[in-house]
Chains A and B, each alone.
Chain A
Amino acid sequence: MKVALVGNPNSGKTSLFNALTGLNQKVGNFPGVTVEKKIGKIIVDNHPIELIDLPGTYSLYPKSYDEEITFQVLCDPNSSDRPDAIIVVADATNLKRNLLFITQIIDLGLPVILALNMIDLVAKQRIEIDIETLSSLLGIVVCPTNARNKGGLGELEKQLLKIKPSKNPAFYLPVGLPLATLSLFDNQNTISEYQKYVLILNYEKLENISLKTEIKESLADTDLVKIQGIETVNRFQKIAGIMRKCFKKEHNQNTNSTTKAIDAILTHSFWGYLIFLGIMFLVFQSIFSWATFPMEMIEMIFNETGKIVASVLPKGMFADLLVNGILAGLGGVIVFLPQILLLTGFISLLEETGYMSRVSFLTDKLMRKIGLNGKSIVPLLSGYACAVPAILSARTIGSWKERIITILITPLMSCSARLPVYTLLIALFIKDDKVIGIFSLQGLILMAFYLLGFVMAIMMAFIVKPFIKEQSKSYFILEMPIYRAPRWKNIFITLIEKGKNFVFETGKIIIAISIILWFLSSYGPSDNFAKIDKKYTSKEYVLMPEKDKANNIAKEKLEKSYAGILGKTIEPAIRPLGFDWKIGISLITSFAAREVFVGTMATIYSLGPDDFDLTKLKEKMSTDINPATGRLVFTTATALSLMVFYAFAMQCMSTLAVTRRETGNWKWPFIQFSYMTILAYLGSLATYQILNAI
């Protein structure tokens, strides 16, 4: 049995889903769209039940892209995800507003159970709900639940096996739709009258093009907005009757005085902004300091594994590929997992507590000036973790223009994949000093780069704003939920999901690129390598120590290898930025994904199992000398120029792919890629030339 979990945003739907399924969930995609589909499996009395978590919505009339998913899955008779039954989750303290969606769901005709969630808050707020009366008025089973302590979940699961459609007649059926339009659904698989109405009123969002045109023609000049408005008013009139019979609340009871008190500070015209900046500052400081220990542990594990693998395997091509190619590349990236988890954890913590909507509230006015929306702050801040889910979260923005600008600029936010690059280069060239005794200088520089990405994102939004046509009116109507202690389990599940995704998805790319790179740097055209080997067997080199000889051979071979030739080819173009051909190779490989940079550096500087760790890599990079100029390859100017390049460049195929799918057009990823590449080149050029001039 397939059961959909639906409900208003902030009703605790995701908590309920997590409480029911635990870690027994997987994330897929809805067909045709990138919207994440969370599916969990539970077994009740030997009956397997598949739960689908659908995006939260306030009604069956979608106002944004993610709400459309819920509408399509629930109403479209051709949807392959159509559930057999529905659990509708409601915030018990907010029953009246929730009932609009609940009665709509009931009228759809599918079997329904109401999970009256956050029941623990009801007593606290001196509310009384007569659950039996509510159940009989709605005609469905009502289960009080508290997803936080799993209260009522056993009963909910038991009731699932007996789930039925409402016994009562529909609450409301819209009036005024032409019979000709309604008869179009005679042969469709609709199960209720109301479902037909919802499909007609939302006909513009249907995927079936021919049906869409037929509906449009039969509707003539029917005023759909008016019909929908009348429905909402009528439903709320019925709801008022229900509320009178089963909901009691002591008057003049200040329901959320704690939230009000917190809001007085957090949304204050001065303190509010200062606290927001302070929080972001603490987040970035902690990423640097707290992650040190686990990072050293991971480094040690890879180091030891490399040694063991090298000692077990016979020396040769395969061992070389495994140790110098794959393990070196993978180790160089996995080491950053702790920092990525910390950042993701902080962002989901801010969302969990309800703080994020306050940030939207505070920033909407500023965001509007640059063509964005207060809601854009969520994708922008999530962009610090990863642009892919961040671009997906822009779906909640109702206006197309604001959404497209948000999508275009989100990849400028310094995502966690840039973190390895920044960390490595900062550690190379910035001393680990303390500023004013407590702040680490490295942490401050890192923060400056995060700020740089943000400022550039804002500037770009301002620049592209006049060029994008407005399709629908922009609006900002946002619920501000009460502050609640974070649900650690939700954060934990998010971390597991993101961590798994980083290790496996990124890991796949890194292994593939490591293999290709290893091949390209281990082989060269014609007899290049043979010549080098021959040169060093000649008489002049007899006296050279074996170790130096081996090093020289390796260096010359890399230069004459396919990778070297590739790097040399682009060297003229990147020389003004301060990059040599070795960095050129890294730039090429990073076009698939930025974090490959560190792995590539590790492979190029061929760190074997005996010496793979960041310290050794740093040492090799900082002492590398450019034979053409006789100077160091990595100067502070080069490092900063390289960091600016990584801050601005679009080096992530996944982001381009997700932009393509979210916008439905190749035009947008193309624009995104072009403007970011130009920005990276110019920014890097300016950095290097200015730093070298002074």
Chain B
Amino acid sequence: MCVNLSELKLGDQAVITKILDPIMSLKLMEMGCLPGEPVKIQRFAPFGGPVAIEILGYVLSLRLDEASVIVVEPICFN
């Protein structure tokens, strides 16, 4: 079952399967968001602001609409 990264809840863990937007994928992949990498939702900024995710052992923040181009396979729901 695949969902967008932006649909996950706090504490959820997932594995990236693909990135939909090719231009955005260049930026995201350089930051380590590659297919096959596990991610964990660490924190949401208030009022629908960015989301902070754990990837490659560091914390990356991105907007929800950027997170929505990342398709993930959830492995652990909080």
Contact = CB atoms under 8 A, between A and B. Distances in A.
Contacts of B57: 93-94, 96, 249, 255
B49 to A, nearest CB: 4
A272 B62 CA distance: 18
A476 B50 contact: yes
Interface in B25-78: 25-32, 34-35, 42-43, 45-50, 52, 56-63, 66
Contacts of B30: 58-59, 61, 100, 232
A378 to B, nearest CB: 14
Contacts of B58: 93-94, 97, 479-482
B22 A362 contact: no
Interface stretch (A134-142, A221-229, A435-443, A611-619): A221-229
A477 interface: yes
What interface size band does chain B fall in? 20 to 34
Contact of A269 (B26, B46, B59): B46
B70 to A, nearest CB: 11
What interface size band does chain A fall in? 35 or more
Given A255-B57, A476-B66, A477-B60, A364 B34 contact: no
A473 interface: yes
Contact of B62 (A59, A63, A97, A477): A477
B44 to A, nearest CB: 9
B45 A362 contact: yes
Interface string A223-240: 001101100110010000
A232 B29 contact: yes
B20 interface: no
Interface string A201-239: 000000000000000000000000110110011001000
A477 to B, nearest CB: 5
A346 to B, nearest CB: 24
A356 to B, nearest CB: 13
Nearest to A57: B30
A267 B43 contact: yes
Interface string B7-34: 0000000000000001111111111101
B48 A365 contact: yes
Interface in A466-502: 473, 475-482
A291 B22 CA distance: 53
B31 A225 contact: no
A480 B52 contact: yes
A357 to B, nearest CB: 8
B59 A232 contact: no
Contact of A97 (B22, B25, B49, B56): B56
A33 to B, nearest CB: 23
A260 interface: yes
A226 B46 contact: no
A233 B34 CA distance: 7
B43 A263 contact: yes
Contacts of B24: 473, 475
Given A94-B56, A475-B63, A229 B50 contact: no
A374 interface: yes
Contacts of A61: 26, 30
Interface in A387-443: none
A519 B18 CA distance: 72
A58 B29 contact: no
Contact of B27 (A236, A366, A477, A479): A477
Nearest to B19: A229
A364 B22 contact: no
Instruction: Point out which of B47, B59, B60 has the most chain A C-beta atoms below 10 A from its C-beta.
Output: B59
B49 A479 contact: no
A581 to B, nearest CB: 51
Contact of B22 (A93, A229, A272): A229
B56 to A, nearest CB: 5
Contacts of A263: 42-43, 52
A361 B47 contact: no
A477 B31 contact: yes
Given A362-B49, A366-B47, A476-B63, A232 B31 contact: no
B17 to A, nearest CB: 13
Nearest to B34: A236
A225 B23 contact: yes
A365 B50 contact: yes
Contacts of B63: 364, 475-476
A66 B46 CA distance: 30
Interface of B: 22-32, 34-35, 42-43, 45-50, 52, 56-63, 66
Given A364-B50, A365-B48, 9 more contacts: A58-B31, A233-B34, A267-B45, A361-B61, A363-B49, A365-B46, A475-B24, A476-B62, A477-B66
Interface of A: 58-59, 61, 63, 93-94, 96-97, 100, 225-226, 228-229, 232-233, 236, 249, 255-256, 259-260, 263-264, 267, 269, 272-273, 357, 360-366, 374, 473, 475-482
28 contacts: A58-B30, A59-B30, A61-B30, A63-B27, A94-B56, A97-B32, A100-B30, A229-B25, A229-B26, A232-B30, A232-B34, A233-B29, A236-B29, A255-B57, A259-B59, A263-B43, A263-B52, A264-B43, A269-B46, A361-B52, A362-B49, A365-B47, A365-B50, A366-B49, A475-B62, A477-B27, A478-B50, A478-B61
